[in-house]
Amino acid sequence: MGILNPDKTDFDTEDLTFRPKLLSEFIGQKRVKDQLEIFLQSARMRKSVLEHVLLSGPPGLGKTTVANILANEIGKNFVNITGPSLKKAEDIISILISLNRGDVLFIDEIHGMSRIIEEILYPAMEDFKLPFTRTVGDKKEILNVKLKPFTLVGATTKDGSLTAPFRDRFGIHLEFDMYNKEDLVEVIRRTCSLLNIPITHEGVDAIAARSRGTPRIANRLIRRVRDVMVVRGSIEINKKIATIAFAMLEIDDLGLEDLDRKIIYHIHKYYKNGPVGVKAIAMNVGKDIRTIEDVYEPFLNHIGFLIRTPKGREVTPMALEHLQNLDNKFGVKYDVHIRKKEKKDKNDTIQDDQKTDMGNVRNDNIRNIALIDEEDMK
């Protein structure tokens, strides 16, 4: 699938050395960092174990990195597992028993854990104990195995799919936002300097603008642009090299790739701008639902191109204008109809604001009207 591949295992080994080790080296996410600094300091001063932490947000924003940083800052072991890999009760029990005081147990994709595992975690998180029942004669006895106090750090891209009792057992909830342009610029400079890749200001800007607010994507784009730099015999990543690379990858000025554009176009063309369920979108563009929801939608939603409603997904006039403006750039002509007379309506102020800074759009409250002329569609 290219640059947006959510699969983390395809990472170059280079990438592992990129992870910032301390909170002070972690770029952006000021809200998350400020809170963690306080909580860490308070735990240190009270000589207590840090409370359980839930990290949520779209892929590639630094949740695993922050979990690692917490263990480093605390100076204890980091035990890293993924929710879906925990199948049987024994899997989690043996891990819990092996933890030392203050250790960080990181469970990635915690929404993918089974109920059995979740229920074992309840008393483990709350009272640091594991209750076992055993039968003595005809009586049942409860035996509590004491655990050493530890910090559970859970990461999820689907905050909403955790059960309320489970979510409530995390004392600290931190939500990751997409990065703004300045922070991405810093991430790109840092990565290029770690990889010894010379890059001009314009090169940095070109990559930052197409990184979809996501450091993982920024780092991947750097590698792809570097490939072009090497093959073209250039001594640096500059505007020209970046332009060649992005044209080859069919990544547009906002960082959208072919599949993003397909999603928008399908909703426009076949569902009259929506609402349409994610299942239908996934089938139409040939991807699974999870990939659409986790990888493509968050950014389209973030820049105000796609809105999620209880009835399904809708595309906005901004998205349609974007397709129209591409004007056959990647060899695809999008047959987009936008009703002219509704272009200038009261929503324009919001849309104009959005356009001034695509990187910082918050479109939660924006309800777009469908601009497509239904007559045009017939």
Give the interface with ligand ATP as residue ranges (CB under 6 A): 8, 15, 18-20, 26-28, 59-65, 108, 155, 157, 187, 215-216, 219
Site string for Mg ion, 24-63 (x = CB under 5 A): ---------------------------------------x
Q: Angle 209-211-214 (CA atoms, 0-180°, nearest 5)?
A: 130
Q: Nearest approach, Cβ of 348 to ligand ATP (angstroms)?
A: 35
Provide the mask over 82-101, with x wherever binding to Mg ion is found by CB under 5 A and - wherever it is not: --------------------
Query: Is 63 an annotated catalytic residue?
Result: yes
To ligand ATP, the closest distance from the beta carbon of 200 in angstroms equals 21
> Active-site residue among 65, 151, 156, 157?
157
- Residue 104 in contact with residue 94, Cβ under 8 Å? no
Catalytic annotation present for 329: no
Q: Which residue is nearest to ligand ATP (CB)?
A: 62
Query: What does 32 interact with, of ligand ATP, Mg ion, none (CB < 5 to 8 A by kind)?
Result: none
Which of ligand ATP, Mg ion, none sits in contact with 187, Cβ below 5 to 8 A by type?
ligand ATP
61 binds, among Mg ion, ligand ATP, none (CB under 5 to 8 A by kind): ligand ATP
Residue 83: contacted member of ligand ATP, Mg ion, none (CB under 5 to 8 Å, by partner type): none
Two structure tokens written together for 283: 């089938």
Query: What radius of gyration do the chain's Cα atoms show?
Result: 24
Among the options 65, 76, 108, 313, which is catalytic? Answer: 108
The nearest distance, CB 108 to Mg ion, in angstroms, is 5
Active site residue 157: yes
| Distance in Å, CB of 273 to ligand ATP, minimum | 30
Q: Shortest Cβ distance from residue 26 to ligand ATP (Å)?
A: 5
217: partner contacted, choices ligand ATP, Mg ion, none (Cβ within 5-8 A by kind): none
Q: Output the residue with the shortest Cβ distance to Mg ion.
A: 64
Picked from Mg ion, ligand ATP, none, the partner binding residue 213 (CB below 5 to 8 A depending on kind) is none
Note whether 64 binds Mg ion by CB under 5 A. Answer: yes
CA distance 344 to 290: 36
User: Is 157 near Mg ion (CB under 5 A)?
Assistant: no
Give contact residues for Mg ion (rule: CB under 5 A).
63-64
As annotated, the active-site residues are: 63-64, 108, 157, 216
